[in-house]
Amino acid sequence: MQLRCFDTKCATKLDLHAPALACPTCGELLEVDMDFSAIDAPALKALWSERRKSRDVRDISGVWRYREFLPAYPANEIVSIGEGNTPLVRGRKTAEWAGVSDLQFKHLGWNPTGCFKDLGMTVGMTEAVHTGAKVVACASTGNTAASLAAYAARAGVIGRVYLPAGQVSLNKLAQALDFGAEVVEIEGSFDDALNTLLEKTNEGIYFLNSINPFRIEGQKTTMFELLDQLNWKAPDYLVVPGGNLGNSAAFAKAFDELLRFGFIDKLPRMIVVQAAGANPLAQLWRRGVDELIPVDEPETIATAIRIGNPRSWKKSLRGVRTTGGQVLDVTDEEISEAKAVIGRDGIGCEPASAATLAGLRKLRANNTIPSDASVVAILTGHALKDTNFIIRSHQREEAHAH
């Protein structure tokens, strides 16, 4: 197992545990290159089912259960807090609202810290500890910070989080503080916070943003667990919100591996949905030119995806293309409306996650997706992240009613 440059033309290879976040030859992102010589799909499907009865910490984790597709570590080094094992919930009012008959939500908000970041963090933190890190850090719009803080606390290392000042949900800030992280507030956006952090290469800090290929490996298992839940039959469409584009990049890697090794015989079309005020990939898609033009001042109520210069765009775009999917954007009004419908369906999520349902409705409205298609939408974060948003929108409703 090695690290390899994501650019197949460059194809630089590095030692798996090399302390690099980018290719030293061309600057492109790295990814984990598996040695898959011993993969036997039917045997692994049976083994993964069997592990659900086990009490081994690695088998209980919805990430490490699929460890044949992850870098290997001694069992006692694994930093896990029971991540994964999130439900598939059938959409009812939401399905009707979007105009599809077969809609399910994979709710990653039901992870230990309330969002999907835990799935990547368990692998990223394990790698950090394995390589002797003492200080780990990330820039964040909130969720990554809370997740890093929790896993750093479990691992007994210092967690430091760089947050755009005044733009992060207080609930997430509270979680980060509760878990004992050091909080650094940066004037500006998430992109500014990430740039500030990435300048600190000489300070012995281990970086845990999703440009870290080990985070991507953990997040990849979302698709293993989803397809396992669907008896290895892919839905027609998979809808995911896009911010820094790490999650869709991770799903793309999972699809490639699962198809290549015969776990599935068909890929879902991956639909990435961005917020209209933070939509560089959707703009690229519309222009049809493979050059990302960052959005200088990203703006959206969905603070989690308020990101103008997504780092993993090439990985994400490759996944959209190979699956025959597409990229679109939705307005803040559409996101708010979709979020309310998800709430009324008894599910609930944070605004960024609701972009999926808003996007789905839009694609149905212009008939891009047939009404009888099977659709899985990824809800990335918990309704309790952005409680201010909910209270404010209901105060507005009240004011209108009087």
Nearer to ligand F0G by Cβ, of 212 and 244: the residue is 244
Nearer to ligand F0G by Cβ, of 67 and 215: the residue is 215
The pairing of beta strand 88-90 with beta strand 374-379: unpaired
State how far the Cα of 197 lies from the Cα of 293, in Å rounded to an integer.
22
Residue 174, amino acid: A
50 Cβ neighbours under 8 A, 6+ residues apart: none
Q: Tell which one of 113, 212, 244, 323 touches ligand F0G (CB under 6 A).
A: 244
The answer to whether the CB of 126 falls within 8 A of the CB of 101 is no
Residue 266, amino acid: K
Q: CB 296 → ligand F0G: shortest distance, Å?
A: 18
Nearer to ligand F0G by Cβ, of 3 and 197: the residue is 197
The secondary structure element, H or E, covering residue 178 is helix 170-178
Q: CB 114 → ligand F0G: shortest distance, Å?
A: 9
Using the contact rule CB under 6 A, the part of the chain among 63-71, 123-131, 150-158, 350-358 near ligand F0G is: 350-358
3-state secondary structure of 48: helix
161: tokens are: 């989080």
125: tokens are: 């933190």
Nearer to ligand F0G by Cβ, of 104 and 141: the residue is 141
The answer to whether the CB of 47 falls within 8 A of the CB of 24 is no
Nearer to ligand F0G by Cβ, of 59 and 390: the residue is 390
Nearer to ligand F0G by Cβ, of 142 and 298: the residue is 142
Q: CB 330 → ligand F0G: shortest distance, Å?
A: 13
Site mask, ligand F0G, residues 205-234, x = CB under 6 A?
Answer: -----x------------------------
Q: Tell which one of 94, 144, 169, 221 touches ligand F0G (CB under 6 A).
A: 144
Q: CB 386 → ligand F0G: shortest distance, Å?
A: 9
Q: CB 323 → ligand F0G: shortest distance, Å?
A: 16
Q: CB 245 → ligand F0G: shortest distance, Å?
A: 5
First to last CA, the chain: 64
Nearer to ligand F0G by Cβ, of 71 and 319: the residue is 319
3-state secondary structure of 115: strand
For 209-243, letters b (16+ CB in 10 Å) and e give bbbbbbbbbbbbbbbbbbbbebebebbbbbbbbbb
CB atoms under 10 Å from CB of 126, counted, come to 24
Using the contact rule CB under 6 A, the part of the chain among 12-20, 76-84, 135-143, 361-369 near ligand F0G is: 135-143
Using the contact rule CB under 6 A, the part of the chain among 19-27, 86-94, 236-244, 369-377 near ligand F0G is: 236-244
State how far the Cα of 261 lies from the Cα of 237, in Å rounded to an integer.
21
What is the footprint of ligand F0G within residues 8-47 (CB under 6 A)? none
Site mask, ligand F0G, residues 293-312, x = CB under 6 A?
Answer: -----------xx-------
Q: What angle do CA 65, 262, 30 make, to 5 degrees?
A: 65
What is the footprint of ligand F0G within residues 85-114 (CB under 6 A)? none
Q: CB 193 → ligand F0G: shortest distance, Å?
A: 9
Q: Tell which one of 23, 282, 352, 376 touches ligand F0G (CB under 6 A).
A: 352
| Residue whose pair of structure tokens reads 């992240």 in the numeric block | 385
State how far the Cα of 165 lies from the Cα of 126, in Å rounded to an integer.
29
Q: CB 35 → ligand F0G: shortest distance, Å?
A: 26
Nearer to ligand F0G by Cβ, of 270 and 305: the residue is 305
Nearer to ligand F0G by Cβ, of 120 and 235: the residue is 120
Site mask, ligand F0G, residues 373-392, x = CB under 6 A?
Answer: -------xx-----------
CB atoms under 10 Å from CB of 11, counted, come to 13
Q: Tell which one of 80, 309, 353, 356 touches ligand F0G (CB under 6 A).
A: 353
Q: Looking at 156-307, which runs of residues are DSSP E strands?
A: 158-164, 182-186, 205-207, 237-241, 269-275
For 57-84, letters b (16+ CB in 10 Å) and e give ebbbbbbbbbbbbbbebeeeebbbbebb
Q: Which residues bind ligand F0G (CB under 6 A)?
A: 115, 117, 140-144, 210, 241-247, 304-305, 350, 352-353, 380-381
